[in-house]
Structure 1
Amino acid sequence: MQFRIDNMTCGGCARGVTKAVQSIDPQAEVSADVPARLLEVRSERPAAEIAAALDKAGFPAAVQG
């Protein structure tokens, strides 16, 4: 699944969103494309749960189709 995170602007942000996702699913595969502000996540958790964890970490995310 893919998320657009408008305030992910640097490598530190990428580490922060990765940590947020892996806090709810330690086995999640996370790939951040900072210039495009996109986050690709492979996880068994539902998108809404991942989006909530990102929001809680200060990175509001929109699920991309």
Structure 2
Amino acid sequence: MIRIRIENMTCDGCACGVAATLREAAPDAAVEVSLEQREARVEAPDAAPLLAALQDDGWEAKEVP
């Protein structure tokens, strides 16, 4: 499970946008987004394409160890 912190996710619309970006980057992955924690969890083998897609869409994203 990959955990990604998204600092600039501040509302439900943001959470929907983050989820859409992640689902586009990894269509077969399970995606969970928590606005309260400003975090996404993705069942995927590699964080790099997820982080790149989020950053391309303007999200301040970093992997949580």
Matches within 5 A, 1:6-21: 6-21=7-22
| Structure 2: runs of 5+ lacking an equivalent | none
- For residues 8 and 25 of structure 2, the distance between their equivalents in structure 1, rounded to whole angstroms, comes to 21
4+ residue runs over 2 A deviation: none
Q: Does 1:42 align with 2:36?
A: no
Query: What CA deviation, in whole Å up to 9, does each residue of 1:25-48 have, x standing for no partner?
Result: 21221111111111111124x101
| Structure 1: runs of 5+ lacking an equivalent | none
TM-score normalized with structure 2 length: 0.88
Aligned equivalent of 2:25: 24
TM-score normalized with structure 1 length: 0.88
Please state whether the residue corresponding to 2:21 is helix, strand or coil: helix
- For residues 58 and 2 of structure 1, the distance between their equivalents in structure 2, rounded to whole angstroms, comes to 18
Query: What CA deviation, in whole Å up to 9, does each residue of 1:3-60 have, x standing for no partner?
Result: 110101111111111111111221221111111111111124x101100000111112
